[in-house]
Amino acid sequence: MGDLMAKIYRWILKENPNLQLTQEIQREYGLHKIIADILSSKLNAQEVKNFLNPDLKDLYSPYLLRGIKEAKELIQQHIALKDLITIYGDYDVDGITATSVLYLTLKKLGAKVDYYIPERLVEGYGINEEAIDKIAQRGTKLIISVDCGITSVKEVEKAQFLGIDVIITDHHSIPKEIPQADVVINPHLPDIEYPFCDLAGVGVAFKLSQALIGEEAYELLDIVSIGTIADIVPLLGENRIIVKEGLKRLNETRNIGLKALIKASGLQNIEIDEYHVGFILAPRLNAAGRLRSAEAAVRLLISQDEKEVEEIAEYLNQENLKRQQIENQILQEAIKKIKETVDLNKEKVIVLWDKNWHPGVIGIVASRITERFHRPSILISLGEGEGKGSGRSIEGFNLYKALEYCKDYLIKYGGHEMAAGINIEKNNLEIFKTKINEYADTVLSDLDLIPSLRIDAKVKNEKIDIEIAKQLQRFKPFGSNNPRPNFLFEGLTVTKVFDLNGGKYKKIIAQKDKFGYELMLFDVSDQGNDVKIGDIIDVVGSIEINSWNGIESVMINVKDLRIKLPLFSYYKNLSKIMVEYQPEKKEIDKKVDYIIDQRGINNKLEYVLKLFKREGKTVVIVNTVVELKSLLRYLRKEKFLDFSLCNGDCEKENGILFFPNSLKPLKYYDDIIIYDIPFKKEIFYRILSHSQGKRIHLVFKEADIYYNLKSFDEIFPQRKDFIKLYKFIEEGNNILFKDHLHPQLNLNPIKFSFCIKAMKEIGLINVKERDNIFMLSKNSVSQKVNIEQTQIMQQIFSAKKEFIEFAKFIVSQKI
Ligand SMILES: [Mn+2]
């Protein structure tokens, strides 16, 4: 396996527009076609409407959620009796915000209310029995859980035994047995009528708040949006409305705690969006609970005391800095361990442990390891007794199921497809690592370990302007299930390259047809570093607005970039025609009205120029690159510019058709010059039969054959090419892009795909392919192999032979 730090992505084009809906969207909302295409490829008409206009009035009635009415009545009874109500929350941002939302709601109703947040490091997640004892001692008569409790059968029983009523509100998956609480609210409950089940824990708390205080609950949406973003629930449907409206309110919040946090984070003069919440505010709220108690974070959100909230905001800042330091240190140690002890060729799941790793931070580090190596990872912190681990996964690997497979070696495990936690005995670590990798081998292929890049639309011949970039803003807020769209830009020519910030970033100016592009590379990869002026590149990136000194411009934020072989599509078509082309069965009409036979003419350049200068429409058909270049060079030298170079419709009176896909344009012209030798007999006669009633000039000669053969050399492999590719694979490289130049392998991609076919046929290598990637591995072959005997090489040889026979015929014989 090559350098794992090098970024290689599979490109997956997801575009599948519904043409009729696209038109409707364009008409109805005045959106550009490419924007409408993205919407129509994943949403129906009603969903598009809701997506583009998230509106509070489209929130569902809270009473649709089973248990809300009963919960409201029970809460009102306890308030009337002036009972103490305790909210039981969780230490993550979802739990903290849910606790705060319900607390502020109950306060508004004049309730006697407090809250309880378990400590991550001491108590762990969820309701525990000792906590119930403590709460009972406070004199609490009603416990309302938020963001937890759906599995707490015993604990709820205990609370009820102690004379406490219990309302469970949660959004986690429903286990086999649920607690016999007085009320259970969870949008995932079976047979539920509620139309949207992806609410975060704070979303469920908000529904209860809506039932209790009506539209006054909207004031709390700033807090609700933070928990919803942080919990990474799908940002569609009701969540989209909550976050869109919540962010608006967050920017003008009256919550003094949020104001203090925003100020302490340096965001006071910035339009806060989902990015700032997810990456700046939420980590601070989380930090307290990771290292110590999360109570401070709740106090920040509910406090009325200016001085207190300032202190807490500063404290959270400090805790967050500490968390970052610890995280970075563990990350460095983990990477070192991977380099020294993990065999990435054999172990698809990275399992690491250490006795000094902080258990509150290993989860974040696991996500960074998984992101970096694109494979599942589990980090385990070994304390005094058992080890506590936290894992993250990749698409295609259900972590929960994997842990189930290893359950004999675990004390405890829980979680879901993408993230999970474990408790493990120290002496089971090695066997657990073996077992989980055994499971991984059955479900993950090598190709699954290559990260993929989703592409939402291909930019064709359209101008990407500020208007389109602004229309894309309507897709915000971005997040889970609503990522920022990625676009594919093909065949851009690089005109300028700038290094910015000491080479950390790069800016590339590129061009295609009449349109210019400003590309920003914030995360410069190998290929990004190799880009030079004049290169042809394919780029995947998002379209964003760059504002600088009050001036707005469009920039492409590049996610991946590949350098392309110049004239790639020419060589690709040529290889198809030579090896795959089957001539049509129907008899070709060889009768031509008027051939002007100038074969062997000495100066065909002058001949073309003379015809171009004459009245009337003239087209030149050129088949080889060398001859095209020499013709263009000559015309430039003669300062003759009155022609167009085209492959389809030519605009001007004079045209050059380079290796045309279609011969339809020939009908516009009176004079047709066949400049060099067509690659196939059938093509030659097709040109003749498309030229009825016109004058055909033949100006090629025998020496031209050399240029055709030169084109063959570009794409047909020779012995040295096989050796080069084989060595490349032997050196441990195993991934090749199908259509792009490989940074370490200087070989035409069309040529190496022939090499791969032949080597595979003869059993030298194994080949897997998916999307735009070949994955190669060596085979041990005992006897000597003759690659020239392969079917594909025989096909190539006979195509070449057939061409030479045909060429020799048409340069000399009567036609
Ligand atoms: Mn949650």
pLDDT tens digits for 219-235? 999 999 999 999 999 99
CA 399 to chain centre: 21
Q: How many helices (H) and strands (E) does the chain have?
A: 28, 27
**How does residue 665 score in pLDDT terms, banded at 50, 70 and 90?**
confident
DSSP string, 493-525: EEEEEEEEGGGTEEEEEEEETTEEEEEEESS--
Lowest mean pLDDT among 535-544, 683-692, 759-768: 683-692
The whole-angstrom separation of Cα 371 and Cα 392 is: 9
How far away, in angstroms, is 722 Cα from ligand 1 center? 55
| Confidence at 584, pLDDT banded by 50, 70, 90 | low
Mean pLDDT of the chain: 92
End-to-end CA distance of the chain: 56
- Which helix (H) or strand (E) is 597 found in, with range? strand 594-597
Ligand 1 geometric centre to CA of 285 (Å)? 14
**Angle ∠(642,647,648) on CA atoms, nearest 5:** 95
Asked if pLDDT for residue 728 goes beyond 70, the answer is: yes
pLDDT (tens digit, 9 = 90+) per residue, 67-92?
Answer: 999 999 999 999 999 999 999 999 99
Same domain, 27 and 62: no
Instruction: Using the CB atoms, write b or e for 312-346: b if 16+ within 10 Å.
Output: bbebbbebbebbeebbeebbebbbeebeeebeeee
In a domain, 284, yes or no: yes
Cα-only R_g, the chain = 34
What is the whole-number distance in angstroms between the Cα of residue 197 and the centre of ligand 1?
13
Q: What is the pLDDT of residue 579?
A: 87
Measured between alpha carbons, how far is 653 from 644 in angstroms, rounded to an integer?
8
For residue 757, give the CATH number of its domain.
1.10.10.10
Give distance in angstroms: CA of 232 to centre of ligand 1.
9
Residues 558-569 have a mean pLDDT of 90
Ligand 1 centroid distance, CA of 202 (Å): 7
Identify the domain boundary among 661, 683, 710.
710
Instruction: Give the Cα separation of 24 and 282 in Å (integer).
Output: 39
Same domain, 253 and 111: yes
Whole-Å CA distances, 772 to 733, 736, 775: 16, 9, 10
CA of 146 to the centre of ligand 1 (A): 9
**Band (454; pLDDT cuts 50, 70, 90):** very high
Residue 588 has pLDDT above 60, yes or no: no
Torsion, Cα of 180, 182, 186, 191 (10° steps): 70
Residue 528 clears pLDDT 90, i.e. is over it: no
Same domain, 372 and 251: no
Mode of pairing for the β-strands spanning 695-698 and 594-597:
parallel
Q: What percent of the chain has pLDDT over 90?
A: 76
Residue ranges of the alpha helices (H) in 188-281? 201-213, 221-230, 237-251, 256-264, 274-276
Residues 473 and 438 occupy one common structural domain: no
Are 61 and 161 within one domain?
yes
- Kindly give the distance from the C-alpha atom of residue 98 to the centroid of ligand 1, in angstroms, as a whole number: 9
Could you write out the three-class secondary structure of 526-561?
Answer: HHHHHCCCCCEEEEEEEEEEEEECCEEEEEEEEEEE
CA–centroid distance, residue 200 to ligand 1 (Å): 6
812 within domain boundaries: no
Task: Specify if 336 maps to a domain.
Answer: no
If one counts the domains in the chain, the total is 6
Specify the long-range contacts of residues 335-340, CB closer than 8 Å, at least 24 apart.
335/369, 335/372, 338/369, 338/373
554 with 662, same domain: the answer is no
Distance CA 141, CA 182 (A): 12
Looking at residue 242, which CATH number applies to its domain?
A: 3.90.1640.30
- Whether 801 is in a domain gets the answer no
579 in a structural domain: yes
Q: Are 190 and 174 contacting, i.e. CB atoms less than 8 angstroms apart?
A: yes
Tell me the three state secondary structure of residue 127: coil
How far apart are the CA of 201 and the centre of ligand 1, in A?
5
C-alpha–C-alpha distance, residues 391 and 364, integer Å = 9
Q: Is the pLDDT of residue 3 over 50?
A: no
Q: How many CB atoms lie within 10 A of CB 798?
A: 12
Mapped onto helix, strand or coil, the DSSP state of residue 205 is helix
The rounded Å distance from CA 93 to ligand 1 centre is: 8
Tell me phi and psi for residue 441, to 5 degrees: -60, -25
DSSP-derived secondary structure for 643-685: -EEESS---SSEEEEES-S--GGGGG-SEEEE-S--SSHHHHH
pTM of the model: 0.87
Residue recorded with tokens 């505010």:
281
Q: Are residues 165 and 300 both part of a single domain?
A: yes
**Ligand 1 center–CA 203 separation, angstroms:** 9
The domain of 543 spans 453-563
Distance 128 CA to ligand 1 centre (A): 17
Q: Side-chain half-sphere of 414: how many Cα atoms within 13 Å?
A: 10
pLDDT tens profile 411-440 = 988 878 888 889 999 999 999 999 999 999
How far is residue 448's CA from residue 647's CA, in Å, rounded to a whole number? 39
Helix (H) or strand (E) holding 285: helix 282-291
Same domain, 383 and 398: yes
Q: How confident is the model at residue 5 (pLDDT cuts 50, 70, 90)?
A: very low
pLDDT given at position 647: 66
| Residue pointed to by tokens 């969540």 | 239
Ramachandran assignment for 275, one of left (phi > 0), alpha (psi -120 to 50 degrees), beta (any other): alpha
Q: Is the peptide bond prior to 566 cis by the omega test (within 30 degrees of 0)?
A: no
* Same domain for 458 and 445: no
pLDDT of residue 587: 56
- Distance in Å, CA 421 to ligand 1 centroid: 15
Cβ atoms 82, 73 nearer than 8 A: no
Tell me what the mean pLDDT of segment 94-117 comes to. Answer: 98
The letter for the amino acid at 160 is Q
pLDDT digits (tens, 9 = 90+) for 255-304: 999 999 999 999 999 999 999 999 999 999 999 888 888 999 999 999 99
Dihedral of CA atoms 134, 136, 137, 138 in degrees, nearest 10, equals 100
At residue 785, the pLDDT reads 79
The pLDDT tens digits for 507-525 are 999 999 889 999 999 877 6
Q: How far is the CA of 375 from the centre of ligand 1 (A)?
A: 24
Task: Supply the pLDDT for residue 650.
Answer: 66
Domain presence at residue 227: yes
Is the pLDDT at 451 greater than 60, yes or no?
Answer: yes
Cα(662) to centroid of ligand 1, in Å?
Answer: 59
Between the CA of 635 and the centroid of ligand 1 the distance, in Å, is 69
Residue 767 has pLDDT above 60, yes or no: yes
Q: Select from 680, 710, 740 the last residue of a domain.
A: 710
Work out whether the CA dihedral 34, 39, 45, 48 comes out positive or negative. negative
Residue 519, in any domain of the structure: yes
Count the Cβ atoms, other than its own, within 10 Å of residue 355: 11
Looking at 543, 563, 583, the residue that finishes a domain is 563
Residues having C-beta closer than 5 Å to ion ligand 1: 94, 147, 201, 231
How far away, in angstroms, is 532 Cα from ligand 1 center? 47
For 266-401, strand residue ranges (E) read: 350-354, 377-382, 387-392
Q: What pLDDT sits at residue 292?
A: 83
Given a cut of 60, whether residue 353 has pLDDT beyond it is yes
Is residue 152 domain-shared with residue 282, that is, in the same domain?
yes
Strand 695-698 vs strand 654-658: parallel, antiparallel, or unpaired? unpaired
Question: What local confidence, expressed as pLDDT, does residue 583 receive?
Answer: 65
Give the pLDDT mean for 723-746: 87
**796 assigned to some structural domain:** no
Using alpha carbons, select from 505, 466, 502, 457 the residue that is nearest to residue 484: 457
Phi/psi region, residue 88 (left: phi>0; alpha: psi -120 to 50; beta: rest), is: beta
Quote the CA–CA distance of 9 and 700 in Å, as a whole number.
Answer: 45
205 with 310, same domain: the answer is yes
On whether both 152 and 109 belong to a single domain, the answer is yes
φ/ψ of residue 637, rounded to 5: -60, -35
Rounded distance from Cα 411 to ligand 1 centre (Å): 24
C-alpha 99 to ligand 1 mean position (Å): 11
CATH number of 474's domain: 2.40.50.460
- Residue 102 · residue 223 · CB < 8 Å: no
Across-strand partners of 776? Answer: 767
Three-state DSSP at 778 gives: strand
pLDDT band at 2 (very low <50, low <70, confident <90, very high): very low
Residue 310 token pair: 């300032």
